[in-house]
A and B are shown apart, each in its own frame.
Chain A
Amino acid sequence: MPKLNMVQAINLALDEAMAADENVLVLGEDVGVDGGVFRVTDGLHAKYGEARVIDTPLAESGIIGTSIGMAMAGLRPVGEMQFSGFSYLMIPQLEGHAARMRSRTQGQFTVPLVMRLPYGGGVRALEHHSESREVYYAHTPGVKVVIPSGPRNARALMRAAIDDPDPVVYMEPKRSYRAFKEEVPESNEPVEIGKAEIVQEGTDITVVAWGAMMHTTKKAVAEVESARGASVELIDLLTISPLDGNAIADSVRKTGRLAIVQEAPRSFGAASEIIAVVNDKALMYLEASVQRVTGYDVVTPYFGRELHYMPTVGRARRGIEQALDF
C-alpha cells in the first residue's frame, strides 16, 4: 500500500474514476494546465485532455451551472471551487436547481455532480481562504455534504461522491492536505455516504469530530487516555448531511457522555444539530451536558490571529474532560 497525503489521495480517486468512466470530467479555475492551485488535479489534463479537464472562465456560478446541465445529460462532472470562500457564488445554482431538480421532476431529472471545496483555516492564507461554512450547504435539502479527515477516507469518499446519484459538496480541509500521509489501499474500499466511522471504540465518553479537527481531536483523546485512563469512543463524522444520527446516538447510549469538536462558528453549526439528534434519540442516557468545542461567531480573522480562533488540542482536551467530570 502506497503512503499518500490527502492531495495525492484525492488526485488518485479522480484519476481512478476518470479511467473507469469516460463520463467523469473535471472543471474549474486553474484545474487544467496548472493542476489546481493546490495541485489536486495535477497530471489529469495531460492524461485525459482538455475536453475532460476543463480550465473554465473565472465564474463559480458558471462552473456549477454548466455542471448541472452536464449531469442531467449523463456526464459526471467534478467541479472545483478554488477556495470555499469563493463558493458562495455557486449557492443560487446549488440551492435553486442542483438540490431540487430531483424533487421538482419527481426523479426524472437528476444532478449527480460533485463540487470540491478546499476549506478551513490554519494555512496563513488571505481573506476568504480560511473559513469553515459546511452548514450553508448542509442546510440545503437535496445536497449531500461530506468532509474527509485523512488521505484514506478522502480517496474512498471521493469515489463514493462521484458514484452518488445526487449532488455532493465535497469539502477538503486544506490544513490536512499535506499535514500527514497514510497508507491508501491499492484498490478502492467502498464507503457509504451518510455513515459516520467509529475510529476507535470506548466506554466512558463519545467524542465526535470531522475534517481538520479529527487530527486535533485524536491528539486530545490520546492525552485524556494517557492522563486519566479514560476509554474514549471516537467518531469521525465524514458526512455532515445527511447526518448519521443513529451512529452517534448508539454510541451515547453506551458511553453516556458526549463532546464535539467543530472548527466552524459556534451558533447553528453541525455540533448543534448533533446535540439536537442526541436529545431526540438518547436524552435519557446522558450523564452529563454535551460539551461543544467550536470556533466563535466572528468573521474569520486574518491569519495573524486565526490560530487563536481554531480549536486547539488543549481546548479539545478540556472539553472532553469537562464532559467526563460533569
Chain B
Amino acid sequence: MPLKDIASFKISRLEILDEQGQVDKDLEPDLSKDELLELYRHMVWARVTDERMLKLQRQGRIGTFGPSTGQEAAHIAPMFAATDKDWFVGAFREHGARLMRGEKLLRHLVYYNGFEEGNVNAPDSSQRNLPVSVIVGAQPLHAVGLAYAMRMKGEPETAALAFMGDGATSEGDFHEALNFAAVWNLPVVFVVQNNQWAISVPRSKQTKAATFAQKAVAYEMPGIQVDGNDVLAMYEATREALERGRSGGGPTLIEAVTYRLMMHTTADDQYKYRSKEEEEVWWKRDPLVRFRKYLEEKGFWDDAAQASLDEELKARMDEQVAAFEAQTDFPPETPFDHVFGTRHDVIEEQKAAFLDELRKEAGDA
C-alpha cells in the first residue's frame, strides 16, 4: 500500500516593526501612547542598568552576571502583555522584565553581590515572580505546575510565562514541560529567547531543526517564530498566546529570534568563539533603536524627551546603587534559619557551633 501523508506542519514568522522602525499598519498592536511610552521606559531602564552593572562588576563591586543587552524586546514585551496575576518564570537573562515586574534594582545588586536577600520579593507584595533559575531548562516545568495549581485554585484564566534560552531546548526538562503543558491543556507561554549562542555553542550545533518554534509541533501546540528584537511583534505574539491560553486553548511556544550583544556572563570572553563583525550586524538590529524611531515617527518622542528620561533614570540608578552600598546587614548565620521550615537539633547545634567558630576566627584575626 502506498505511504499516506498523515501529518504536516508549517511555521510562521511574525514581524511588525522593521529595523528602520517602519511599522506594518495591518499588524500594529492596539497600544495607547501611554502604554507605548511605558514599555519604552522599561526597555531603556533595562539597558542602562545593564550598562551600570557591567561597570560595577568590572570595579569588583558586584560578582558575575549575565547582561541582557539586545534582548530587551524579547523578554520585556511578553511580560508587558501579561498581567500582575500571571506568573513570571525566568531563567537568568530577563532582568528587564524583573524590574518591570516590581523588583528593585537594589535587589538585583544584592543578588549579584552574593546574597540570597536579593531573591526576596517585598514582604507586602503579591509578586508572582519566581527567582532566577541558573540550572538551564529546569524552570519551564515549574511554570506548568503553577498554571495547573491556578486552575485548581479557581484562577483558570491565570497564565504562566516561562523564559529560557536556545540552549535550554536541548535539555530533557524542556521537552517534558512542553508535553505536560499540552497534555494538561494549560495556559502556559513558553518563550525561547534564541540569542544564537549558548555560551560558545552556536545555534547550528544546538539543533538541526530549522526553527525552535517547530519544536511545538510534536507536542500539538501552536509554535511561532517572532523577530525577537521587534517589541511590537513580541507583544502581539504573546497577547495572542495569552488570549488563547486563557480561553482554554492550551500552551504556546514562542521563539524570539534575538541576539546576546554582550558576553555570556562577565566571566566569559565572547571573542574566543565569535567575531566583532558578527556583533556589529546585530547592533544594527538593536530593539531600542527601532522602537524609538517608531515612537518618533508617531510624534510621541524626541531628543528632549530622551534627555529628560536619561537624566531621570540616572538619578534613580544612583539612588539605588547608593542604597546598595549602604546595605551591610547580612548576618553570617542567616542560612541556618532557612534550611527547613521546622526546627531540628542538627541545625541548631551546628548553628551554635558555627557562631562559636566565628568568635574564635575573630579572636584569631
Contact = CB atoms under 8 A, between A and B. Distances in A.
Nearest to B267: A37
Contacts of A61: 171-172
Contacts, number: 117
Contacts of A308: 332, 354, 358
Interface string B105-118: 00000010111100
B205 interface: yes
Contacts of A60: 171
A266 B357 CA distance: 15
Contact of A29 (B201, B267, B338, B354): B201
B172 A302 contact: no
Q: How large is the interface on B (under 10, 10 to 19, 20 to 34, 35 or more residues)?
A: 35 or more
B63 A266 contact: no
Contact of B170 (A57, A129, A299, A301): A57
B360 A299 contact: no
Q: How large is the interface on A (under 10, 10 to 19, 20 to 34, 35 or more residues)?
A: 35 or more
B115 A305 contact: yes
Nearest to B118: A302
Contacts of A301: 116, 335
A126 B118 CA distance: 13
B199 A124 contact: no
Contacts of B273: 33-34
A96 interface: no
B206 A58 contact: yes
A34 B172 contact: no
A80 interface: no
B183 interface: no
A124 B347 CA distance: 25
Given A266-B350, A314-B361, A127 B134 contact: yes
Closest 10 CB pairs of A and B: A304-B114, A34-B200, A303-B114, A58-B167, A57-B170, A304-B115, A298-B335, A302-B114, A308-B332, A58-B170
Given A57-B206, A60-B171, 4 more contacts: A37-B267, A125-B64, A305-B330, A308-B358
7 contacts: A34-B273, A57-B170, A58-B137, A60-B171, A124-B63, A297-B339, A302-B116
Interface of B: 63-64, 111, 113-116, 132, 134-137, 167-168, 170-172, 198-201, 205-207, 265, 267-268, 272-273, 330, 332, 334-336, 338-339, 346-347, 350, 354, 357-358, 360-361, 364
Interface of A: 29-30, 32-35, 37, 55-62, 85-86, 89, 124-129, 266-267, 296-299, 301-306, 308-309, 312, 314-315, 318
